[in-house]
Amino acid sequence: MKYLGIIPARYASTRFPGKPLVDIGGITMIERVYRQVEHELDAVCVATDDQRIADAVNDFGGNVVMTSPDHKSGTDRCYEAYTKITGSFDVVVNIQGDEPFIHADQIQIVKACFVDETVDIATLVKAFKSTDNLQDTLFNANAPKVVLNKKNEAMYFSRSAIPFVRGAAPEHWLASQTFYKHIGLYAYRVNVLKEITCLEQSPLELAESLEQLRWLENGYKIKVGVTQRETIGIDTPEDLEKALEILCV
């Protein structure tokens, strides 16, 4: 099995323009993501539509592919990049460009899902802790949740807290039920990546604004790996300040 890692990166972010190029401990965020994963995959490249990001990647010696500015999702950008990269790969790993502290073992967990030859798509989750702040985690619409079946396959993703725990006060939910936070690391067999980029947006996807629901609605199964490590996505300047505090600890 050969694994290609692709890091989609856009400059034009509504909440934090230019965030791939922000400085985190003397290194741009996009380089930090790249360095965290490059030794776990057979090849890695950044997929971007912005020359400033491409120049930054070239400056640190990374691989970069220019893609269309019209893509609506990182998955679509990944597929275009894949078609422009030479070499033969079995699985494409879509790595979030705004999670600079992604761990090598998280890549390994997702790769391990493909030991099962029937797996077409894989992703990653982490269980919430009973000590977590509810408003920052379980009831935070920016932190998608997922429920799993007994085969560790995703049954549904939602921005709402799922499952609903009947008969228990919300403040007791984390103590009475395991809830999983979805971590937006995806991997797809290359033929499946091509297929899912041809799908029309689905009703559940439009309702929740979660593209993985399009895949479930069309009958694709998503294998789920479980990590014990927390990830930090940087969506706003405030998130960056938190990341810098962690880096200094």
For residue 233, pLDDT over 70 is answered with yes
Which residues of 77-200 form beta strands (DSSP E)? 91-94, 121-127, 145-148, 154-158, 180-189
| Kind plus residue range of the DSSP H or E element containing 206 | helix 203-208
At 25-37, the pLDDT tens digits run: 899 999 999 999 9
Comparison of pLDDT for 125 and 245, the residue scoring more: 125
Residue from 187, 193, 177, 82 nearest 124 by CA: 187
Q: How far apart are CA 150 and CA 162, in angstroms?
A: 16
Amino acid present at 11: Y
Q: Mean pLDDT throughout 173-178? A: 92
Q: How far apart are CA 104 and CA 169, in angstroms?
A: 38
206 CB-contact burial (10 Å; exposed 0-12 / middle 13-18 / buried 19+): exposed
At 88-142, the pLDDT tens digits run: 999 999 999 999 999 999 999 999 999 999 999 999 999 999 888 888 889 999 8
Q: What is the CATH number of domain 3-248?
A: 3.90.550.10
Measured in degrees and rounded to the nearest 5, phi and psi for residue 181 equal -85, 130
To the nearest whole percent, how much of the chain has pLDDT over 90?
78
Residue from 26, 67, 25, 27 nearest 46 by CA: 67
At 69-80, the pLDDT tens digits run: 999 899 999 999
| Kind plus residue range of the DSSP H or E element containing 27 | strand 27-28
Q: Cα 249 to chain center, whole Å?
A: 25
Pairing of strands 91-94, 3-9: parallel
Structure-token match 């797996």, residue found:
119
Q: What does the pLDDT read at residue 232?
A: 81
- Give the domain ranges of the chain: 3-248
Alpha helices in 12-124 (DSSP H): 29-37, 51-59, 74-84, 104-112
Q: pTM of the full predicted structure?
A: 0.94
